[in-house]
Amino acid sequence: MKVLLLLFLTGCLYTQFVAQAARGQLEIMGRARPIEEVVRDPETPLRTAMLLAEIPAIREYGKSYGLTITRNYKKYSDLGERRPAAVWFVGGADPLQFRPVPWCFPIAGCFPGLGWFDEDDAVAFKLQLDAQGLDAVVRPAGAFSTGGWFPDPVVSTMLGGGDSALPELANVILHESVHATAFVQDEQFFNESFANYVADALTENWVEQRFGPGSPEEVSWRLGQALNLPRVARQLATYKALKAVYEDKTLTKAQKLARKAAIIDELMTDLHLRKRPNNATINEVRLYNGGAEALRKAHRACGDLRSLVLAGKRLRRDDFTKNTQEDLAPIGERLAQLCAQKLDR
């Protein structure tokens, strides 16, 4: 199944995806204006101007922790009020294995999902994966990254509402800056877990510095984190339960599917979910959060966040034992070793 999908991507799907990505990127870049110009423009809504005015300071804050600050986020692109997302992410997985389907590109490497600029295209692709018997997911994403191929602008879908708007904007910018700092090709479980862990820690510290303890922004950010952590833990526990079922050689395929359905029923009840999770959605949770414990241990060993960032920057491809390595415990130990060398402090 995986081989067929990869071959298909090199044919008509590859052409279709690259063409729509080019069109979507060109449209967004064509709408982009320098942030300073947008902030000074009297036609710019006050809230938008206030949020955008914070971005240069956020970039400098990230730089102070060792993040590589690129040419990204120097411009702003208004996608219009009717567009709810920048891209729509589509991912797929084997229904009885936690094996994300990778889509691979020359030079850029392999990714566990594809971002579509048109919602209808994304849904159509997701339905193709469904028809092939895969667990598939399609979800909107307010932000996206071209991985350094283009200077990514801030897009209007990154500007939320409420007291958490600025912390969330800072989190996105810091997350993508971590990718620019520490990125290992084909190691998406490390790349996303590391960016997620570092950006969350940096955002928490930045919110306290910028607004102070007890401020509406600080309370909103901490509340969001507090509500999200147990939900993530519950989904990771579901992953472990399902993985045990999938690896049980005494069970037939039908029995595995029945147990899978029961376990997911429990998850839906516990978290009051409306949409039914599957292996693709749980893979996403693991992608961004599965390495948190290993990274926390590395953080403690390194002593401070800047040292952890610099250690991540020194990771190399041969530090990983295989492509798309899911177990990050050895990588956490390697990060601790790099910190212990006390290089570039």
Grouped pLDDT means (10 residues each) for the chain, 345 residues: 37 77 87 96 96 96 93 91 90 91 72 88 94 95 75 91 94 93 90 96 96 96 95 96 97 98 98 96 94 96 96 94 91 96 60
CA distance 283 to 116: 19
Q: Are strands 154-155 and 75-77 parallel, antiparallel or unpaired?
A: parallel
Question: Which residue has tokens 């914070």?
Answer: 54
Q: Beta strand pairing status for 32-34 and 103-105?
A: unpaired
The 10 Å Cβ neighbour count of residue 99 is 17
284 vs 123: CA distance, rounded Å? 18
Beta strands in 85-203 (DSSP E): 87-93, 103-105, 109-111, 113-116, 135-141, 154-155
3-state secondary structure of 223: helix
Please list the alpha-helical segments (H only) found in 99-187. 119-131, 165-181
Residue 1: per-residue pLDDT? 29
pLDDT of residue 14: 74
pLDDT of residue 11: 56
Strands, E assignment, 17-84 = 32-34, 75-77
Whole-model pTM?
0.89
Q: Which two tokens stand for residue 138?
A: 């399609």
Confidence (pLDDT) at 281: 96
SS3 assignment, position 303? coil
| Edge-to-edge strand ranges of the sheet holding 113-116 | 113-116, 87-93, 135-141
Closest CA to 166 of 70, 49, 37, 33: 49
Q: How deeply is 71 buried, as exposed, middle or buried, from its count of CB atoms within 10 A (0-12, 13-18, 19+)? A: exposed
Nearest to 72 by CA among 178, 199, 173: 173
Contacts of 26 (CB under 8 A, 6+ apart): none
Question: Which residues neighbour 30 within 8 Å (Cβ) at sequence distance 6 or greater?
Answer: none
Backbone angles phi, psi at 11, to 5 degrees: -100, -120
Please give the DSSP secondary-structure letter assigned to residue 324: T
Q: Which two tokens stand for residue 286?
A: 């693991």
Q: Print burial letters for 166-202: b (CB count within 10 Å at least 16), e (below 16).
A: bbbbbbbbbbbbbbbbbbbebbbbbbbbbbbbbbbbb
